[in-house]
Structure formats: C-alpha cells, structure tokens
Amino acid sequence: MIYSGLVSVTFRKLTPGEIVSLVVKSGLQGIEWGGDIHVPHGNIVCAREVCNLTEANGLKVAAYGSYYNVGCEDEQAFTFEQVLETAIALHAPTIRVWAGNRGSNEANPIWWDRVINESRRIAALAATVGITVSYEYHGNTLTDTSESACRLLKNVGHSNMGSYWQPTKGLTVESQLDELKQVMPWLSNIHVSLYRQCTVPVS
C-alpha cells in the first residue's frame, strides 16, 4: 500500500503536536518519527505518547527513523535493542537504519563483513516482533550507490531487511529511475525533498 507522509526531522524545532497539526492540515497520511529529537531512543513513555497522538489524529506511524549506524554499536550511545523497544511502543512498521558510517569506496572487506553480519542480526531480531528494518539510501554509507546497495542487500540475504530510496543529486531523471529499478526488489519507502526556503504557519 502506497501512502504519503512526512519525515518529522524536516521540522526538528517543532514539537510532535505541531508536526501532527501540519500533517493533518496538509492532507498527508503518515509520519516517520525521528529518534534524534522527537522520539528519543529508549524513551518508551515518549514513544507511546507520540503514537497515541499520531493515531488519535487519524494518521499512520510510517516508520521510526532511528539513525542507528549498523556496525557502529560500540561508537553509539544506544543499542539496537533500545531502538527496537522504542519502535514497538511507537507502533512503527519499519525501522530506518544507516548502512555503516563510511562510503562504499572507503570500505574494506572487513568492514563489509561487519555491516553484513550486524544487519543479519538486527533483521532477525526485529522479525521476531513483526517489524522490518530498512537502510537509508544515503552518501557516506554502503548504500551510497545503487550498485553498492544491491551488493549489500544480496549479501545480507535476509527477507526482513529492505531499503529506502531517494533521488541522488546531480543525476538525470533517467539515471535516477535506473537506480530506483535496481533497488526495487528491496524497496520499502521513498524519501523525496524540496529544497527551498519557506515559512509554514503552525496555528
């Protein structure tokens, strides 16, 4: 099922209530809540409150944008288990993660294996509670190109691991469509953005 939504970190300075109000007024259908500001990792009370607020206004929780870097747990202040617990309380159907913290052209075989093995672990863990895991399609990670993203997903080989996609700046429309077609077998969400300065009234 395809439906439209907003990534909450688009408006980091707004409260969850203000974001819900904007989404309702805009006619969108869902919200991907971010773990860095609006629904912090491990804050179960906050996750439940934001979930209730979202659903009470007729909206879907589209995903949990965790900002968890796969393969980098030792460098982060939170674990995937905390992320998963928060996603459960939020009623998020999928958790967005980053495929490491370095680009595919900088990654050696040891790093590839580390990200692959960790991906399998978190995909299996999330599967036990019916939540999927999806890579952010982004620079400075192993999903910085369609070729690298497909290589990673094929090597992980877990049915519970998918991928987002977003347009790559500087490419032609034809090249972007070709990228999208390559990751289509694993596609879970599409991120699009409009870069322009604007002022949005909250009330």
Residue 201 counted as domain residue: no
* 64-95: pLDDT as tens digits: 999 999 999 889 989 999 999 999 999 999 99
pTM over 0.85: yes
Cα(172)–Cα(109) distance, integer angstroms: 31
Mean pLDDT of 167-185: 88
Residue 122 counted as domain residue: yes
Q: What is the CATH number of the domain that holds 11?
A: 3.20.20.150
Residue 197 counted as domain residue: no
Cα(158)–Cα(78) distance, integer angstroms: 24
Residue 185 counted as domain residue: yes
Q: Which residues pair with 133 in a beta bridge?
A: 95, 161
Mean pLDDT of 129-157: 96
| The two structure tokens encoding residue 203 | 């009330």
Task: Give the domain extent around 112.
Answer: 5-190
Residue 71 counted as domain residue: yes
Model confidence band, residue 196 (pLDDT cutoffs 50, 70, 90): very low
Long-range contacts of 77-83 (CB under 8 A, 24+ apart): 78/41, 78/42, 80/121, 80/122, 80/125, 81/125, 82/41, 82/42, 83/35, 83/41
Residue 80 counted as domain residue: yes
Residue 203 counted as domain residue: no
Closest to 33 in 3D by CA, of 48, 50, 18: 50
Residue 24 counted as domain residue: yes
* Number of structural domains found in the chain: 1
